[in-house]
């Protein structure tokens, strides 16, 4: 997180990628209505754009069935709505967001799957990281900001499709030195988001009072990376790095790892259920054609 | 066809490249001619015979496609738990100045990069460093998992003198690698500057013992091809290559960072007992077992004996349990579930149908239309059919290991279940 020393104006210009959770299944049950939430977020985005005229904001909506860009400050038209009462930012964003939600709903009707599931964080994270590639990180510092209503930790295992993808994105962000900040509006802490922020050196925050969401956002997440070194930001209160075993989905702090495919088991097995290797003896012919070969 | 495509790309990317070259690395033009001596190699003739700097983007992308093809051709089980000895030749041949400033400095610089990249890709593996000097081998660092300690040990010890001996090096490494558990993959990477080897006994016998102990030996030469190195690599299943220049050397050494394909009988599958310590809260104070110092905050607690350690992955000093965290395991998963290579969208399809095809890259939203509304070269994911620009293609396969298109659509079934 060292500030770029080459250019003087570089240290406080920031590119902020905001990933919004728009999962309809979570926001309906919330005591913070989506419209209130949006007005907090809009003020937050406006305040970032006002902090420095070179600042950039990109908003990606993370839905239940797909993800899409809903706002990009570099492409924003400067015209507001007809009667001029609504600023451009809100107008553009709200219009795109509405289209997004309609499409998400359509996709949901087409899909046969039922049940409550988290938004597609892995998709929007991947998109955001691709997008950051295109900005010159010498003249601005990029950070990702996740604002999530709720996120299920469906077990840290390779059987959970989202897990591998999210972890891949997190490591990629770490390699490109992009911190992931997460603001989590759920009831329990999310181990995924905590890990994301911890690994990439970002801030994880679970606001206590949702009425003051804007204040949390603007004091914690609006600060550029250079100024963060001078601030007392929320510190992590013990990140859960335990894994869960593949056989019973229990969270364990000691376990057995398959040396071939790194599956985690809570007790000793004779055979790996993921890759089919037999343990403790030489492999016979049928295992050498490993199941991992795809 | 392929040629034509690249040529087209050359034409479009030229303007950008000129500018890039112009403000290159903050050096003046006359400084740059001295900074890299082979400046004539980065020029090419265009259609009208004028000299232009080589278009790196097209070249880079072609290179990457080649890499991807070889990687996806050998998509088989990989040895994820590796025990690698890096043998550095510090005989007097390493003081030669054909690499600037000298071979040893170049080797040291890239070994450091290699060590970091290695641990990034293989978090559960271990490296040891060995040097050859005056015909004698010397173990710089034992097998260990901390990149910092290896780099520190290497930087202090770079004087070179005397002859070099492959046999001595193999004997020493063989002794160490014989002790590691049977599930680990044993590997040796020799960075060889000399053109000869000065051995006390029969090196053929040593090569056979290495072969019997299933040690995979690879050699990167810095001078010229030597028969004995080639023979060693062929016998033990390693790879042999000779570096042409510094950038080629870097490329060759980094090829050894991703896990190699596992050969079934080389390592025996086994269950390894490991602990997943929890990170202590920032305010807690404890004495760590690795440095024997009282430290406030940070640190992890061993789940078996409750000793405090400072960093992961490591082995608990008190009870010997291997301590890792779940992200370390996750770092290796992309080797097991690699992302499919994207297909290049053919030029004829682009010309015919470009009005119907997506106008922007799905990943970065940059436009895929080049100058004059002509379509740029692009690739598409065979699964989700989204289109991506070439930069995103490289980033997705080399660093991200996720397809943004596939990830932003809900799967009907878990990926792991459908793909196995």
Domain segments of chain A as ranges:
10-228, 242-294
What's the Cα-to-Cα distance from B11 to each of A91, A141, A215, B39, B132, rounded to whole Å? 40, 32, 51, 21, 50
Q: Give Cα separations from A181 to A17, A211, A225, A277 (angstroms).
A: 10, 20, 11, 40
Evaluate if residue A79 carries a pLDDT over 60: no
DSSP state of B146: -
What pLDDT does residue A287 have? 35
Say yes or no: A282 contacts chain B, CB-CB below 8 A.
yes
pLDDT higher than 50, residue A201 = yes
Extract the tokens encoding B226.
């030597």
pLDDT given at position A292: 36
CA–CA gap between residue B267 and residue B187 (Å, rounded): 11
B259 CB-contact burial (10 Å; exposed 0-12 / middle 13-18 / buried 19+): buried
In sequence order, the β-bridge partners of residue A182 are A146, A204
Which positions 208-247 of A are in contact with B (Cβ < 8 Å)? 235-243
Among B20, B77, B278, pick the best mutation site for testing chain A contact (most A Cβ within 10 A). Answer: B77
pLDDT > 80? residue B26: no
Q: Could A283 and B366 be called an inter-chain contact, meaning their C-beta atoms sit closer than 8 Å?
A: no
Question: Which residues face B271 on adjacent strands?
Answer: A258
More confident residue, B373 or B324: B324
8 Å CB contact of B269 and A259: yes
∠ CA B192-B195-B197, nearest 5°, is 80
The answer to whether the Cβ–Cβ distance between A111 and B268 falls below 8 Å is no
Q: Under DSSP, is residue B108 helix (H, G, I), strand (E, B) or coil? A: helix
User: Which of A163, A270, A292, A293 would you mutate first to test chain B, the one with the most B CBs within 10 A?
Assistant: A292
pLDDT band at B176 (very low <50, low <70, confident <90, very high): very high
Instruction: Answer whether residue A236 shows pLDDT above 90.
Output: no
Beta-strand pair B387-388/B294-296: unpaired
- Token pair 């229990």 is found at A250
CATH 3.40.50.410 fits A10-228, yes or no: yes
Whole-number Å distance between alpha carbons of B306 and B301: 5
ipTM (interface pTM): 0.83
Sheet of B271-275: strands edge to edge?
A: A264-265, A254-258, B271-275, B322-323, B314-315
Asked if B415's CB is within 8 angstroms of A134's CB, the reply is no
A202 CA: distance to closest CA in chain B (Å) = 15
Q: How many CB atoms lie within 10 A of CB B98?
A: 11
Distance from CA of A83 to the nearest CA of B (A): 31
> What are the tokens at B342?
């994207």
CA distance A2 to B122: 26
Nearest-CA distance A294 → chain B (Å): 6
Asked, as a colleague might, if the bond just before B101 is cis with ω within 30 of 0, I would say yes
Task: Categorize the per-residue pLDDT at B8 as very low, low, confident or very high, splitting at 50, 70 and 90.
Answer: very low
Beta bridge partners of B251: none
Measured distance CA(B106)–CA(B244) in Å, rounded: 13
Query: What is the distance in angstroms between the Cα of B330 and the nearest Cα belonging to chain A?
Result: 6
Q: Which residues of B touch A260 (CB under 8 A)?
A: 77, 80, 262, 269
Residue B321 to residues B72, B273, B304: CA-CA distances in angstroms?
A: 36, 7, 8
Name residue, tokens 């995979």: B216
Burial grade of A92 (CB within 10 A; 0-12, 13-18, 19 or more): buried
Q: What is the pLDDT of residue A120?
A: 85
C-alpha A235 chain-centroid distance: 19
State the average pLDDT over residues A3-14.
Answer: 55
Residues on chain B touching A70 (C-beta within 8 angstroms):
none
- Total residues belonging to chain A: 294
**What are B320-357's pLDDT values in tens digits?**
888 888 888 888 888 888 888 888 887 777 777 767 77
Note whether A137 contacts B: Cβ–Cβ < 8 A.
Answer: no
- Cα R_g (chain B), whole angstroms: 25
| Residues A143, A1: Cα–Cα separation, whole Å | 10
The most confident of A190-199, B54-63, B366-375, by mean pLDDT: A190-199
How many Å lie between the alpha carbon of B120 and the closest alpha carbon of chain A? 9
Q: Report d(CA A202, CA A181) in Å as an integer.
A: 5
Burial class (CB in 10 A: 0-12, 13-18, 19+), B144: middle
- Using a CB-CB distance cutoff of 8 angstroms, which residues of chain B are in contact with residue A241? 276-279, 300, 312, 325-327
Q: What pLDDT is recorded for position A83?
A: 57
Which residues of chain B lie closer than 8 angstroms to A169, CB-CB? Answer: 400, 402
Which pLDDT belongs to residue B417? 31
Start-to-end CA distance of chain B, whole Å, equals 36
- What pLDDT does B241 receive? 94
CA torsion through residues A85, A87, A90, A91, sign? positive
Please tell me whether residue A139 adopts helix, strand or coil conformation.
coil
What integer best gives the mean pLDDT of chain B?
80
Between B105 and B374, name the one with better pLDDT: B105
The token pair at B10 is 């050359």
The pLDDT assigned to B232 comes to 95
For CA atoms A26, A105, B408, A116, give the dihedral sign.
positive
Q: How far are the Cα atoms of A214, B139, B164, B177 from residue B128, in angstroms, in the given order?
A: 52, 8, 19, 10
Spatial separation of the C-alpha atoms in residues B199 and B311, rounded to whole Å? 41
Task: Supply the pTM of this predicted model.
Answer: 0.81
The 10s digit of each residue's pLDDT in A14-32 is 889 999 988 877 787 767 8
pLDDT at B23: 45
Number of neighbouring beta carbons within 10 Å of residue A83: 6
Q: Which of B271, B303, B412 sits opposite A113 (nearest CB)?
A: B412
Tokens of A156: 């840290």
CA distance to partner chain A, nearest, from residue B361 (Å) = 10
The per-residue b/e assignment along A154-172, b for 16 or more CB within 10 angstroms, e otherwise, is bbbbbbbbbbbbbbbbbbb
Residue A165, chain B, CB below 8 Å: the answer is yes
**Chain A residues touching residue B416 (CB < 8 angstroms):** 158-161, 164
Of B361, B365, B407, the CB nearest to A165: B407
Q: Count, in order, helices (H) and strands (E) of chain B.
A: 14, 19
In the 8-state DSSP scheme, what is residue A260? T
pLDDT-based confidence at B250, cuts 50/70/90? very high
pLDDT score of A126 = 92
- The answer on pLDDT for A257 being more than 90 is no
A·B CB contacts under 8 A = 222
Report the pLDDT averaged over residues B97-119.
Answer: 91
Residue B83 — pLDDT band, cuts 50, 70, 90?
A: very high
pLDDT at B372: 65
Average pLDDT of every residue of chain A: 78
E strands, A149-224, where?
Answer: 180-184, 204-205
The rounded distance, in Å, linking the Cα atoms of A74 and B25 is: 27
What pLDDT is recorded for position A250? Answer: 80
What is the crossing angle of helices A191-200 and A161-175, to 10°? 20
Calculate mean pLDDT across residues A46-51. 88
Cα R_g (chain A), whole angstroms: 22
Residue B398 has pLDDT above 80, yes or no: yes
3-class secondary-structure state, position B407? helix
Q: Which of B81, B334, B411 sits opposite A168 (nearest CB)?
A: B334
pLDDT (average), residues B121-132: 91
What are the structural domains, with CATH classification, of chain B? 76-266 (3.40.50.410), 278-336 (no CATH), 343-412 (3.30.40.10)
Q: Is A25 on the interface with B (CB under 8 A)?
A: no
Checking if the pLDDT of B47 tops 90, the result is no
Strand-pair partners of B295:
B286
pLDDT at A114 over 80: no
How many helices (H) and strands (E) would you count in chain A? 9, 10
User: pLDDT category, B24, cuts 50, 70, 90?
Assistant: very low
Over 60: is that where the pLDDT of A290 sits?
no
């Amino acid at each position: 997180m060292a500030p770029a020393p080459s250019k003087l104006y570089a240290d406080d210009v920031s590119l902020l990628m905001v990933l919004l959770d728009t999962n309809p299944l979570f926001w309906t049950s919330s005591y913070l209505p989506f419209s209130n939430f949006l007005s907090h977020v809009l003020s937050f985005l406006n305040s970032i754009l006002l902090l420095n005229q070179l600042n950039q904001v990109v908003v990606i909506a993370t839905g239940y069935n797909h993800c899409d860009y809903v706002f990009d400050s570099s492409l924003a038209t400067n015209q507001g709505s007809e009667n001029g009462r609504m600023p451009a930012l809100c107008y553009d964003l709200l219009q795109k967001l509405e289209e997004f939600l309609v499409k998400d709903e359509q996709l949901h009707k087409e899909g046969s799957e039922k049940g409550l599931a988290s938004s597609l964080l892995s998709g929007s994270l991947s998109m955001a990281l691709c997008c950051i590639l295109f900005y010159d990180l010498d003249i601005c510092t990029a950070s990702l900001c996740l604002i999530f209503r709720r996120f299920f930790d469906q077990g840290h295992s390779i059987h959970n499709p989202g897990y591998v993808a999210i972890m891949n994105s997190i490591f990629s962000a770490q390699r490109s030195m992009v911190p992931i900040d997460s603001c989590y509006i759920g009831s329990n802490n999310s181990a995924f988001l905590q890990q994301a922020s911890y690994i990439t050196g970002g801030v994880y925050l679970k606001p206590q009072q949702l009425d003051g969401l804007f204040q949390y956002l603007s004091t914690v997440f609006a600060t550029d990376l250079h100024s963060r070194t001078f601030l007392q930001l929320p510190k992590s209160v013990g990140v859960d790095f335990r894994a869960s075993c593949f056989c019973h989905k229990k969270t364990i702090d000691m376990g057995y790892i398959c040396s071939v495919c790194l599956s985690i088991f809570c007790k000793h097995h004779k055979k790996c259920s993921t890759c089919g290797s037999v343990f403790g003896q030489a492999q016979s012919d049928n295992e050498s054609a490993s199941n991992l070969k795809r | 066809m392929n040629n034509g495509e690249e040529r087209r790309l050359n034409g479009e990317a030229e303007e950008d490249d000129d500018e890039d070259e112009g403000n290159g690395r903050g050096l003046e033009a006359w400084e740059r001619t001295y900074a890299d001596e082979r400046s004539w190699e980065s020029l090419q003739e265009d259609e009208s015979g004028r000299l232009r700097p080589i278009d790196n983007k097209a070249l880079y992308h072609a290179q990457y496609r080649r890499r991807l093809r070889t990687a996806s051709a050998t998509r088989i089980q990989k040895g994820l738990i590796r025990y690698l000895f890096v043998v550095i030749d510090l005989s007097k041949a390493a003081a030669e100045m054909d690499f600037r400033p000298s071979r040893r400095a170049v080797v040291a610089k890239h070994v450091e990069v290699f060590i970091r990249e290695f641990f990034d890709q293989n978090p559960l593996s271990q490296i040891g460093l060995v040097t050859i000097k005056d015909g004698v081998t010397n173990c710089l660092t034992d097998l260990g998992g901390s990149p910092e300690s290896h780099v520190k040990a290497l930087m202090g010890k770079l004087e070179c003198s005397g002859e070099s001996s492959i046999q001595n090096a193999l004997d020493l490494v063989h002794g160490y690698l014989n002790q590691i558990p049977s599930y680990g993959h044993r590997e040796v990477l020799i960075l060889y500057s000399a053109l000869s080897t000065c051995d006390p006994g029969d090196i053929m016998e040593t090569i056979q013992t290495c072969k019997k102990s299933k040690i995979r030996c690879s050699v990167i030469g810095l001078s010229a091809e030597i028969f004995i190195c080639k023979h060693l690599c062929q016998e033990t299943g390693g790879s042999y290559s000779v570096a042409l220049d510094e950038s080629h050397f870097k490329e060759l050494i980094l090829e050894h960072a991703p896990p190699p394909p596992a050969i079934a009988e080389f390592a025996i599958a086994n269950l390894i007992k490991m602990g997943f310590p929890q990170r202590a809260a920032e305010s807690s104070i404890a004495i760590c077992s690795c440095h024997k110092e009282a430290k406030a905050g940070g640190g992890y607690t061993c789940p078996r004996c409750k000793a405090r350690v400072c960093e992961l992955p490591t082995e608990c000093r008190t009870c010997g349990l291997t301590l890792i965290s779940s992200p370390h395991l996750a770092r290796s998963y992309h080797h097991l579930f690699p992302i499919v290579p994207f297909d290049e969208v053919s030029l004829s399809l682009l010309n015919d149908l470009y009005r119907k095809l997506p106008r922007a890259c799905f990943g970065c939203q940059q436009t895929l239309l080049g100058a004059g509304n002509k379509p740029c070269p692009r690739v598409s994911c065979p699964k989700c059919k989204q289109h991506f620009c070439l930069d995103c293609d490289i980033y997705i396969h080399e660093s991200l290991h996720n397809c943004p298109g596939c990830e932003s659509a809900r799967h009907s079934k878990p990926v792991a279940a459908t793909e196995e």
